[in-house]
């Protein structure tokens, strides 16, 4: 059977094809140029949107971990460096699994198809964040058995490290329970939590408009942002 189309239908069909090609080509071009920035070992900024990697918790930027030889190593900086290496020159895509309440989207991020969440845990540069998900416990167990990264010796987890630093700083803050420092500099309004590498050197000058915060959410709502520890 031969199906005949009117000239108007053929014209409309041609327009649809051209439009589809244009949209697809534009998306590909834009995807190639989306800027990616490493915030820390488990947080990325992709196209101006911050993503907190689902189900994992990397060492904090200023955190040191115990080494196999009895010393210590900069595990936080190692995690950041590894994340930079994983995303460098690659197309990064993150899915959306909701917000974490700190202005970030929770997601699984991939660089040229490689799952970054899995990679960080497999390399021993992030813990499985079992409080929120058990998706990466299998990979964590493998890394532990191989004594990779954070598993080469007993060390403090990222969440315990944050809790320890918070408890220490809380005693010295002007208002109990509000130890987050809101700093203003040439880089903008940046807040430093007690586990920030720059926390002790940061001074709060209320005469300049700087202030103390009780939570990260409060700081973000007031217009401050967390530091970028990677590139």
Record: fold of 36-155: OB fold (Dihydrolipoamide Acetyltransferase, E2P) (2.40.50)
Residue found by looking up tokens 């909701």 in the block: 98
Q: Are 196 and 229 in contact (CB under 8 A)?
A: no
Question: In angstroms, what is the C-alpha Rg of the chain?
Answer: 23
Structure tokens given for 8: 């108007």
pLDDT for res 12 = 38
* E strands in 5-157: 36-40, 43-46, 49-53, 56-57, 65-66, 72-73, 92-94, 105-107, 109-111, 114-115, 127-128
- The ranges of the chain with pLDDT < 50 are 1-31
42-100 pLDDT tens trace: 999 999 999 999 999 999 999 999 999 999 999 999 999 999 999 999 999 999 999 99
pLDDT for res 98 = 96
Q: How far is CA 2 from CA 8, 10, 13, 184, in A?
A: 18, 15, 18, 73
From-to residues of CATH 2.40.50.90 in the chain: 36-155
């Amino acid at each position: 059977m031969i199906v005949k189309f009117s000239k108007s239908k053929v014209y409309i069909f041609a327009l649809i094809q051209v439009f589809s090609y244009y949209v697809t080509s534009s998306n590909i071009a834009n995807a190639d140029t989306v800027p990616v920035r490493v915030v820390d070992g488990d947080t990325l900024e992709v196209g101006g949107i911050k993503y907190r990697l689902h189900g994992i918790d990397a060492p904090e930027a200023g955190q040191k971990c115990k080494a196999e030889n009895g010393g210590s190593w900069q595990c936080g900086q190692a995690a950041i460096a590894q994340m930079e290496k994983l995303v460098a020159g690659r197309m990064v895509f993150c899915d959306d699994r909701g917000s974490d309440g700190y202005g970030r989207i929770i997601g699984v991020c991939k660089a040229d198809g490689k799952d970054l969440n899995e990679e960080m845990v497999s390399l021993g540069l992030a813990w499985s964040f079992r409080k929120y998900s058990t998706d990466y416990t299998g990979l964590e167990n493998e890394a532990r058995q191989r004594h990779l990264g954070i598993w080469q010796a007993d060390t403090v987890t990222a969440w315990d490290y944050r809790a320890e630093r918070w408890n220490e700083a809380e005693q010295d803050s002007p208002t109990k329970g509000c130890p987050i420092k809101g700093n203003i500099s040439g880089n903008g309004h940046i807040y430093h939590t007690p586990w920030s590498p720059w926390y002790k050197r940061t001074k709060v000058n209320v005469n300049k408009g700087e202030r103390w915060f009780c939570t990260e959410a409060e700081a973000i709502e007031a217009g401050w942002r967390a530091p970028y520890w990677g590139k």
